[in-house]
Structure 1
């Protein structure tokens, strides 16, 4: 589990620096807001574009494997939304982010973890999930959040509003541009990949810093119960459902099943907070869930690997 410490320690270190800097007034709120805009508009889209164009989609695609993982993900998303709506009495936008928290994992941690655990044989399975991961969840989150903004009586304008939001969302643009270049085998000029690669390097540390600075203005105590619920769904139910589907619904190689389960057990990804903060929909809960799930994942991932027989 040394790989967990090596990756998670810089995340928590950056969070604490940002948190105390914001509390001390070294980082004013406007600076954090400006950095958040940079991350959402330029850094993350560049990172996604760069990753997609550099990693061609596998051929043939293992659909049973993808259905096992994403089928479990969407089930957990629906359950989390129901818990948020009916147990915690939250609005639809907040519930949408609760669903994303339960389904969207930190692939930044997952990639080195899978490669360190399974070696080169884990490359294809994890990249297959990464290839489908972001654009599905970001697209669904955008649709749900835009739907929540519509007033009663304005349903007829909803499809156009959603289409406009998707077409102008920088993250969706980065994803679609990367997919089009990838699927169409469109050569991307080296200066473009140099720029997107350079900007993409700033995405994760900047996003973590923004979250740390934002935590300084949130009252985390009021978000603990919902964050704990999200962690239970993300760290326990999601991998359990993935295992059941991959084992009892489909027949696949143990290696592919194990990689899917490990990825499902990853903590909440930072991009959930970016969406929640952008749409002002449960950002304190998203941030708290990300922090708590990352900490708890030291034990849950170790338990998952033990139960799968990975030593």
Structure 2
């Protein structure tokens, strides 16, 4: 097994394991799980997303290498909705099929495997990853929620333009897309945050990854994976193998070669990110499946990422 893969993934597995132990021992009760989820979703994630985007200058982004990644993600996301139908569960599963753990696992892994040049390519992807995928998923989820509410007994039929406008508003004024957009706009002003403000925001953002992964473990402790393992394995295989394979194909067709394409393929092979788990909890759908899928995808990545990295060197 590639040592860089092991050194990047092992901390993630250990954090999920620590959460699993806490859940099994009853150190965190059911009510506290929801409160912790709100803390992560409403405070820690916005801090991380705002700070990440607050230093991104649009003119410095190398968009060519990330085109294959987002094109592949868009095709998989759309195919999932077509196969499963347009509803909130399908939208969350589609996000699980396409959203990689690019920060906690991706940054150290790509840095070890491809050096500074590869890290620059990955950071370009990271600067757009949440903006594109999470904002798109939020819009789809809000549209699905509006559609479900309209179909309920006694639910009023709302004109389609009003439904779209409300869904778009809810997708923007939201704990995930809003800090991304505000951070991106702030970056274009050329201003920098005072250290006294930047430091606490940085601390909050740094707390996101570990606490979110511990939460996955806590939820996993009460999730009957025995009933979910087949579906979770299917999700993990789509994310860990189908996604990078499609990125490689599309990148090759777009004329990409060498290190930029290799980084995008490995990024697509990374396991499901914890943000998907938070979305499933936020929208109260597919929580058991997503929890199991994050765990299975992360464990499976110990093997699949090594395989993808070995194959990617020929691109």
What SS does structure 2 have at the residue aligned with 1:261? Answer: helix
Report the equivalent of 2:154: none
- How far apart, in 2, do the equivalents of 1:133 and 1:119 lie? 20
Report the equivalent of 1:193: 198
8 Å Cα contact 1:57/1:128 also seen in 2: no
- How far apart, in 2, do the equivalents of 1:73 and 1:174 lie? 22
Deviation, 1:4, is 2.8
Report the equivalent of 2:245: 240
Query: Counterparts of 1:77-88 in structure 2 under 5 Å?
Result: 77-85=77-85
- How far apart, in 1, do the equivalents of 2:26 and 2:124 lie? 43
Report the equivalent of 2:311: 307
Report the equivalent of 1:154: 158
Report the equivalent of 1:110: 106
Deviation, 1:57, is 4.4
Query: Counterparts of 1:1-311 in structure 2 under 5 Å?
Result: 1-57=2-58, 59=60, 61-85=61-85, 92-107=87-102, 108-150=104-146, 151-152=150-151, 153-156=157-160, 157-248=162-253, 250-309=254-313
TM, length-normalised to structure 1: 0.90
1:250-279 alpha-carbon deviations (Å, 9 max, x no partner): 223411111111111111111000001110
8 Å Cα contact 1:84/1:98 also seen in 2: no
8 Å Cα contact 1:58/1:128 also seen in 2: no
- How far apart, in 2, do the equivalents of 1:161 and 1:24 lie? 43
1:141-165 alpha-carbon deviations (Å, 9 max, x no partner): 1111111112142353322322332
- How far apart, in 2, do the equivalents of 1:80 and 1:45 lie? 27
Deviation, 1:204, is 0.9
Deviation, 1:211, is 1.7
Count of equivalent residues:
303
Structure 1 residues 7 and 126: CA distance shift in structure 2, 3 A: same
Ranges in structure 1 where 5+ consecutive residues have no aligned partner: 86-90
TM, length-normalised to structure 2: 0.89
Ranges in structure 2 where 5+ consecutive residues have no aligned partner: 152-156
- How far apart, in 1, do the equivalents of 2:189 and 2:272 lie? 32
Structure 1 residues 64 and 145: CA distance shift in structure 2, 3 A: same
- How far apart, in 2, do the equivalents of 1:12 and 1:63 lie? 32
- How far apart, in 2, do the equivalents of 1:231 and 1:32 lie? 24
- How far apart, in 1, do the equivalents of 2:10 and 2:114 lie? 22
Structure 1 residues 155 and 95: CA distance shift in structure 2, 3 A: farther
1:207-264 alpha-carbon deviations (Å, 9 max, x no partner): 112222222332222322222221221111111111111112x223411111111111
Report the equivalent of 1:88: none
> Runs in 1 of length 4+ with deviation above 6 angstroms?
none
1:259-303 alpha-carbon deviations (Å, 9 max, x no partner): 111111111111000001110111111111111111111211111
Deviation, 1:83, is 4.1
CA RMSD of aligned residues (A): 1.9
